[in-house]
Amino acid sequence: MAYPYRHEKETRVMSEGFGDPAARTLAGWKAMGGYQGIARALEIGREATVEEVKASGLRGRGGAGFPTGLKWSFMPKDARRPHYLLCNADESEPGTFKDREIIRWTPHQLIEGCLVGSHAIGAAHCYIYLRGEFFESTQVLARALEEAYEAGLVGRDIMGSGVDIDMTLHVGAGAYICGEETGLMSSLEGRRGEPRVKPPFPAAVGAFGMPSTINNVETLAAVPHILRHGGEWYRQWGTDKSPGTKLFCVSGHVNRPGNYELPLGFPLMELIEDVCGGIPNGRALKAVIPGGSSVPIMSAEDCRACSLCYEGVEAAGSLLGCASVIVMDDTTDIVKQVGRMAYFYAHESCGQCTPCREGTAWATRILRRIEDGRGTEDDLDTLIEISEQMTGTTICVLSDSLAMPIISSIEKFRDDYLALIRRGERVGAA
């Protein structure tokens, strides 16, 4: 079997080159139809490019699911001031590992997507903000960008079109909050990665005070294919509200973890049991976090009828987020894992807003106390109360992101908490 794991039920649009060293090179990417998307975008012009992506129904793959074409259309039409495209490659949502695969296997796919995005918003400079830890994948992207510059695909007068698009790789220094779009802008400007109040929105006042658009790596990776084949073509997959394909990052207790590209709307249980080969050692499913650690936890029961599209996961009581499916079997200590997540959010809080700075740390201490067998039933009420105060009260959604797993885990796995509280025993601890 070739790396990475593959499955016949996949629809490989963006992931075709994963595991193929030849796909990294400019020649290899061109052989796969590369740079035809940007050629068409240059031919049809800026506005038609935006319209094509609007027609595809592509939604942002970074977690929020905002329609990409619509986002691009918010950018000013005149070019009196510089416009910037910022590619968010600060992938750091626990459970998410798709952008790194795109970058290290198909760097030209991302570069082409950045060119199309820059053209669509009238940007002459695109910054790709890479998380600092991605040294190896960044070097692959850097080499590919040098190839693209040498071939006249990036820089002045790209492909002889008269359009100038420069690209710069910007490497971060370790902070989850820089994945938040306004935190990313602050960090790019050389500040602490502190999110900013919206409005003004980035399309009006973004990086360096100029109109800016921030797109996720996977969003931009889908764009060249949409330009090359058309928006209608992209809609052959997925649902009406969630068109296209998506990379599902499956981790935790499955036999074949990895990135699988599937049409949106794919059944969750089929992903776990068939595509990923089920749960190891014949264990039973206990819980799933379907969209990265920042979304509500689902019980095994919630998963039964869940289909993996934005509206499908919402109907099952959670959120698709960035489709990072974390699978937990019946040996899982839910309280320990929620406590680990709380520790993460407390560590990564930028500290600007009191409900987040205090709330994430307080919740972490309470969860640790419960885990150690020193908790009380009142602690659960306190956790819920703190979580409610952390929801919708801050500049960004970092504290909301902890509130969701806390509230949902207490709702769905209250017995796990109570067992620890009443008897000092862990449920499921192996």
Query: Smallest distance from the beta carbon of 115 to other proteins, in angstroms?
Result: 13
Smallest distance, other proteins to C-beta of residue 85, A: 14
Residue type, 321: G
- For the four alpha carbons of 6, 245, 249 and 309, in that order, the dihedral sign comes to negative
Q: Cα(313)–Cα(310) distance, rounded to whole angstroms?
A: 6
With 0-12 CB in 10 A as exposed, 13-18 as middle and 19+ as buried, what is 14? buried
For other proteins, the closer of residues 188 and 395 by Cβ is: 188
* Residue 332 contacts other proteins per CB under 8 A: yes
Provide, rounded to whole angstroms, the least separation between the CB of residue 145 and other proteins: 5
Site residues (CB under 8 A) for other proteins, limited to 245-304: 249-253, 257-259, 289, 293
Enumerate residues 52-71 that contact other proteins by CB under 8 A. none
Distance CA(165)–CA(386), nearest Å, equals: 47
- The answer to whether residue 29 forms part of the interface with other proteins (CB under 8 A) is no
Q: Which 385-424 positions form the footprint of other proteins (CB under 8 A)?
A: none
With 0-12 / 13-18 / 19 or more C-beta atoms within 10 angstroms meaning exposed / middle / buried, residue 32 is middle
Tell me the one-letter amino acid at 256.
R
Indicate the length of the chain as a whole number.
430
Question: Quick check: 208 binds other proteins (CB under 8 A)?
Answer: yes
> Could you tell me which stretch among 8-16, 30-38, 68-76, 334-342 binds other proteins (CB under 8 A)?
334-342
Q: What is the DSSP letter of 284?
A: P
What is the signed CA dihedral for 14, 15, 17, 18, rounded to 10 degrees?
Answer: 150
Measured from the CB atom, is 187 or 387 closer to other proteins? 187
Least distance (Å) between residue 239 CB and other proteins? 25
| Residue 173 C-beta: closest distance to other proteins, Å | 4
Peptide bond into 199 cis (omega under 30): yes
For the CA atoms of the chain, what is the radius of gyration? 22
Q: Which residues pair with 155 in a beta bridge?
A: 165
Binding part of the chain for other proteins, among 32-40, 186-194, 228-236, 310-318 by CB under 8 A, reads 186-194
Shortest spacing between CB 393 and other proteins, in angstroms: 22
CB of 358 to other proteins, least distance (A): 19
Nearest one of 65, 26, 424 to 215, comparing CA atoms: 65
187 near other proteins, judged by CB under 8 A: yes
What mask of x and - would describe binding to other proteins in positions 99 to 138, judged by CB under 8 A? Answer: xx---x-------------------------xxxxxxxxx
Residues 349-378 contacting other proteins, CB under 8 A? 350
Asked whether position 31 contacts other proteins by CB under 8 A, the answer is no
DSSP of 299-310, one letter per residue? EHHHHTT-EESH
What is the smallest separation between the CB atom of 355 and other proteins, expressed in angstroms?
20
Find all residues with CB under 8 Å of 189, minimum gap 6, and list them.
207, 208
Residue closer to other proteins by CB (options 53, 128) is 128
| Closer residue to other proteins (CB): 120 or 188 | 188
Which tokens hold the place of 209? 């005070």
Residue 190 or 199 with smaller CB distance to other proteins = 190
